[in-house]
């Protein structure tokens, strides 16, 4: 019998590809998305249209924070897995509109946890971010690092969801995995993401802004690699503390709850200017560059220690930056006919 998953944020960049991968494996997927106008809604509609070509996919267009909405969904479907990707994203936008982060990231996640308390799934997987590592300078970031110095309100809300999830895992024995994403990119990405903005500007002959004068490094993770990790983690269920299971080396498994955090990144950070060069090469045009100071809330570098993901799932991100960027640029030219 096919298993059923709830994917929140199913019309989003990561939610679309995660839903697509689950459907390909024979899952039934209930996709929930509020279709907010933070970026081009048409892009979200197109993603959902493609998913709806599968008989195993159904859609709920609503906000996470709607009282009792999620509880009713959990009761109706008795989900085997919940993959919570819906969130108000963006480090810089959280300076402009912090309330939207409270409503979506905090209240929305609370409603999800309450629904799971009433109708527990076998495993919940909630999206966090590499931004929770904040001002940490010791790299690569490991899941057991202390994460108390968030640099943006976005990161603060994501840290809060990790702590909320841990409390529910402890109190109600809900197996929960938090995955921390590292700068995801690829086709169908969000228009506010660097690879999207750089590609658009270069093709249109506009200059691009290079922050921190190019002294930035990111652990860029290609979307296909990320999704393989997410899907593989579904069956890597954190055990109960009294189950007698010995944590693997470097595990972030809680001592008092079936809860762990897992980095999903390549473990190989790329210089920002090398990332830009990969885009220039894929497009065949040199960028006009304006060098700027670092923006508020940004961090100069991210770098994942990815061995826990490999140990739990056998998966590890492998796509070279040049391959991933070429795939994105090809999609961009085809989608926008440029």
CA–CA dist 9, 190 (Å, integer): 13
What's the full length of the chain, in residues? 338
Q: Which of 36, 17, 13 is nearest to 25 (CA)?
A: 17
Whether 95 is covered by a domain: the verdict is yes
Which tokens go with 140?
């690569």
Which tokens go with 76?
């109706």
Domain assignment of residue 71, given as a range: 4-182+221-265+303-318
CA–CA dist 258, 270 (Å, integer): 34
Q: Is 154 a catalytic residue?
A: yes
Q: Which of 211, 232, 220 is nearest to 279 (CA)?
A: 220
Which tokens go with 302?
């991210």
Which tokens go with 64?
């996470």
16, 141, 154, 185: the active-site residue: 154
Q: Which residue has the tokens 């197996």?
A: 175
Task: Output DSSP code: residue 130.
Answer: G
Whether 129 is covered by a domain: the verdict is yes
Whether 194 is covered by a domain: the verdict is no
CA–CA dist 52, 265 (Å, integer): 29
CA–CA dist 177, 297 (Å, integer): 26
CA–CA dist 162, 277 (Å, integer): 36
Contacts of 243 (CB under 8 A, 6+ apart): none
Domain count for the chain: 1
Looking at residue 248, its pLDDT comes to 84
Looking at residue 245, its pLDDT comes to 82
Whether 213 is covered by a domain: the verdict is no
Whether 284 is covered by a domain: the verdict is no
Looking at residue 297, its pLDDT comes to 76
Whether 325 is covered by a domain: the verdict is no
Q: Which residue has the tokens 């010995």?
A: 246
Can you give the three-state secondary structure of 167-232, one letter per residue? HHHHHHCCCEEEEEECCEECCCCCCCCHHHHHHHHHHHCCCEEEHHHHCCEECCEEHHHHHHHHHH
CA–CA dist 327, 186 (Å, integer): 7
Q: Which of 81, 331, 79 is nearest to 222 (CA)?
A: 331
pLDDT per 10-residue tile (average), the chain, 338 residues? 96 98 98 94 97 98 95 97 94 87 96 98 97 92 94 95 98 98 96 95 96 92 97 97 83 96 95 96 96 86 93 91 98 97
Looking at residue 92, its pLDDT comes to 80
Looking at residue 91, its pLDDT comes to 80
Which tokens go with 332?
């961009």
Contacts of 317 (CB under 8 A, 6+ apart): 221, 222, 225, 226, 229, 264, 265, 266, 267, 306
Helix, strand counts (H, E) of the chain: 12, 13
Whether 60 is covered by a domain: the verdict is yes
Whether 30 is covered by a domain: the verdict is yes
The CATH number of the domain where 106 resides is what?
3.40.50.720
């Amino acid at each position: 019998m096919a298993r059923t998953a709830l994917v929140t944020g199913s019309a989003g960049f990561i939610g679309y590809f995660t839903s697509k991968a689950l459907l390909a494996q024979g899952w039934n997927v209930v996709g929930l998305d509020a279709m907010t106008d933070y970026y081009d809604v048409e892009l979200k509609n197109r993603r959902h249209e493609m998913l709806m070509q599968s008989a195993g996919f159904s859609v709920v267009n609503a906000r996470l924070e709607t009282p009792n909405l999620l509880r009713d969904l959990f009761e109706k479907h008795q989900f085997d897995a919940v993959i919570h990707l819906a969130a108000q994203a963006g480090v810089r936008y959280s300076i402009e509109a912090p309330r939207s982060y409270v409503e979506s990231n905090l209240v929305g996640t609370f409603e999800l946890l309450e629904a799971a308390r009433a109708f527990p799934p076998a495993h919940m997987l909630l999206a966090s971010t590499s931004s929770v590592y904040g001002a940490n300078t010791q790299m690569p970031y490991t899941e057991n690092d202390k994460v108390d110095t968030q640099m943006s309100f976005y990161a603060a809300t994501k840290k809060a969801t990790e702590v909320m999830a841990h409390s529910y895992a402890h109190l109600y024995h809900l197996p929960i995995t938090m995955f921390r994403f590292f700068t995801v990119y690829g086709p169908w990405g969000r228009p506010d993401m660097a690879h999207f903005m750089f590609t658009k500007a270069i093709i249109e002959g506009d200059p691009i802004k290079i922050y921190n004068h190019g002294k930035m490094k990111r652990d860029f993770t290609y979307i296909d690699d990320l999704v393989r990790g997410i899907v593989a983690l579904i069956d890597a269920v954190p055990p109960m503390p009294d189950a007698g299971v010995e944590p693997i080396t470097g595990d972030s498994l809680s001592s008092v709850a079936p809860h762990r955090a897992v980095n999903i990144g390549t473990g190989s950070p790329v210089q920002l200017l090398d990332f830009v060069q990969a885009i220039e090469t894929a497009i065949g045009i040199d960028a006009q560059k304006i060098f700027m100071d670092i923006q508020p809330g940004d961090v100069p570098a991210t770098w994942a220690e990815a061995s826990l993901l490999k140990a739990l799932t056998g998966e590890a991100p492998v796509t070279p930056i040049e391959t991933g960027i070429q795939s994105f640029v090809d999609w961009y030219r085809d989608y926008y006919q440029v």
